[in-house]
Each structure stands twice: as C-alpha cells, then as structure tokens.
Amino acid sequence: MATPGRIVAHLDAGNVVLKDSLQTLVIDEADLVLSFGFDEDVRRIVSQIPNVVQTLLMSATLNADVEQLKQLVLKKAAILRLEEGSDEQTLTQFYPPVKTRPGQGDYFCKQH
C-alpha cells in the first residue's frame, strides 16, 4: 500500500518490479487521485504493470476525474453503485484472505 508518488519512488530506486509481482491494483479515493496531481505518477505506474492485472477503483463520486482515470487504468470496466438511501442492514462487508511472506504484512493481517 502506498501513494502513487511513493510507488514511483520505489520504481526509480529499483525496490519493486511491478511487471513481475503485481496481481491486483487498488486505487482508493479515485475521485481525488488526479485532483491531487498524481496523474503523471499514475501513468508511470500503469506503464509498469502486467498486461493482465485485476484493477479496482473506489470512489465516493463519479466525476470527470474518475472517468479519466477509468479510461487510463481499466479494461472492460464494470461499475457497481450504491444507491442513495440504501439500508445498511442489507449490506455485507467482507475482506479477502491475504497471503503474506514471513515478516511481511504480518502486522496488517493481525491487527485489522
């Protein structure tokens, strides 16, 4: 987990090779990513990801920035919308199991 700028710093330092390791790319607060000036960083990251990768964009709003980001990073996008006034009783929250290597990610998995 990192900001786009931090991922680019790791790419520049040679600490990570996304083409070899990335399986899922999650961009949270997608409606803010471009407005915060991360457009060039996102383009750099997208140029480094494998051809086949699961990509998720999360956003509270669907504005022009989200549409632009969607065009940049998604292929065959599916849009899931939560309608206004949806009853919290009908929603189910879940999280997938996370595989970790010894010493990596253990804190996150145990604490959250």
Question: Looking at residue 112, what is its pLDDT?
Answer: 39
Spatial contact of 41 and 8, defined as CB atoms under 8 Å apart: yes
Question: Looking at residue 99, what is its pLDDT?
Answer: 65
9 sits in which H/E element: helix 4-13
Report the alpha-carbon distance of residue 107 to residue 112 in Å, rounded. 8
Kindly list the domain boundaries of the chain, sorted by start residue.
1-76
CATH of domain 1-76: 3.40.50.300
Report the alpha-carbon distance of residue 82 to residue 91 in Å, rounded. 10
Report the alpha-carbon distance of residue 49 to residue 68 in Å, rounded. 18
pLDDT band, residue 1 (cuts 50/70/90): confident
Express each pLDDT in 50-98 by its tens digit. 888 888 888 888 888 888 888 888 888 888 777 766 666 776 777 777 6
Any idea what DSSP says for residue 14? Answer: T
Look up the pTM and report it. Answer: 0.66
Could you report how far apart the first and last alpha carbons of the chain are, in Å? 14
